[in-house]
């Protein structure tokens, strides 16, 4: 380890100005990369932990709005954010566009389509939030080695140019310059390798959470449809509307329908 540190120090001291600038750029990229790795690992850990708690609570509920009405709080779970937006949209339609059926409020099919659209938008927004910052890791993985290689090639070019000007091709004259050039590639690989492992781990985890979100959105919409959507046949809906309209007309005029006249008796 000490030998490696000594070799890196010697190579850095012999690096050209262009090589040192390349190493500086790689170190800045590494700083951003490690920041994303640490932040995303913490974010994904919290998301997994709270998602497990939320799914357990939701599975134990009998009504799709039970957690919302009980003021349940699972802020760390992406599925909970989706649930809150869907529940808020459902409650809005139950309040503003209700369909009364046997003393209970339901929503129309058109309102249900609006709720499903909100669920889809929420799922997409949570997926984007989970993937935020991943472009930095992919850049470090793909660009780190190439940036280092650029510094190495540039350093080797400067070394050979200096040897040509000095008319000396000895190993002693070449070694410091080549060592100073190769350190850029080493730093590039040290930046790319941790970013590659972190990126692969996080992409797999995010993909799993995203699939959970899609599955929960479908299940939540299905339970809303079973509990709160007016799925009566069209004929029954028309009959119900006619009855409600008749009741309003009678109430407005303040009278009831006259009784049916008795049937005439036949004379023998």
Q: What is the pLDDT of residue 2?
A: 45
Are 138 and 144 in contact, with CB atoms under 8 Å apart?
no
Task: Encode the chain (268 residues) as per-residue pLDDT tens digits.
Answer: 544 566 667 676 767 777 788 888 999 999 999 999 999 999 999 999 999 999 999 999 889 999 998 888 898 899 999 999 999 999 999 998 888 877 778 898 889 999 999 999 999 999 999 999 899 999 999 999 998 888 888 888 877 777 777 676 666 666 777 777 888 888 899 999 999 999 999 999 999 999 999 999 999 999 999 888 887 655 454 555 555 555 566 566 555 445 555 555 544 4
Alpha-carbon distance values, 111 to 93, 106, 114, 224 (Å): 6, 10, 5, 11
Residue 107 gets which letter from DSSP?
Answer: B
- HSE of 31 in the Cβ direction (CA atoms, 13 Å)? 6
Whole-number Å distance between alpha carbons of 191 and 197: 11
Contact 209, 86 (CB under 8 A): no
| Burial group, residue 126, by CB count within 10 angstroms (0-12, 13-18, 19+) | buried
Residues 240-258 pLDDT 10s: 555 555 556 656 655 544 5
Q: How big is the chain by its Cα radius of gyration, in Å?
A: 35
At 101, phi and psi to the nearest 5? Answer: -135, 110
């Amino acid at each position: 380890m000490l030998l490696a540190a000594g070799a890196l120090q010697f190579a850095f001291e012999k690096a050209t100005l262009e090589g040192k600038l390349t190493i500086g750029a790689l170190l800045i990229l590494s700083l951003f990369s490690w920041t994303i790795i640490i932040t995303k690992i913490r974010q994904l850990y919290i998301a997994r932990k709270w998602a497990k708690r939320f799914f357990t609570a939701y599975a134990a509920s009998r009504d799709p709005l039970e957690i919302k009405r009980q003021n349940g709080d699972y802020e760390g779970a992406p599925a909970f954010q989706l649930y809150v937006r869907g529940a808020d949209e459902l409650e809005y339609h139950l309040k503003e566009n209700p369909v009364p059926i046997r003393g209970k409020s339901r929503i129309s099919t058109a309102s249900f389509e609006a709720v499903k659209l909100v669920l889809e938008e929420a799922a997409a927004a949570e997926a984007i939030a989970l993937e935020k910052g991943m472009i930095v890791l992919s850049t470090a993985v793909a660009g780190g080695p190439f940036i280092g290689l650029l510094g190495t090639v540039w350093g080797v070019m400067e070394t050979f140019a200096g040897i040509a000007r000095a008319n000396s091709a000895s190993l002693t004259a070449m070694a410091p310059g080549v060592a100073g050039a190769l350190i850029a590639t080493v730093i590039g690989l040290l930046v790319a390798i941790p970013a590659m492992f972190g990126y692969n781990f996080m992409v797999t985890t995010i993909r799993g959470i995203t699939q959970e979100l899609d599955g929960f959105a479908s299940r939540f919409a299905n339970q809303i449809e079973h509990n709160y959507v007016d799925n009566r046949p069209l004929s029954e809906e028309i009959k119900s509307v006619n009855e409600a309209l008749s009741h309003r007309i009678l109430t407005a005029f303040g009278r009831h329908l006259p009784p049916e006249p008795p049937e005439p008796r036949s004379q023998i």
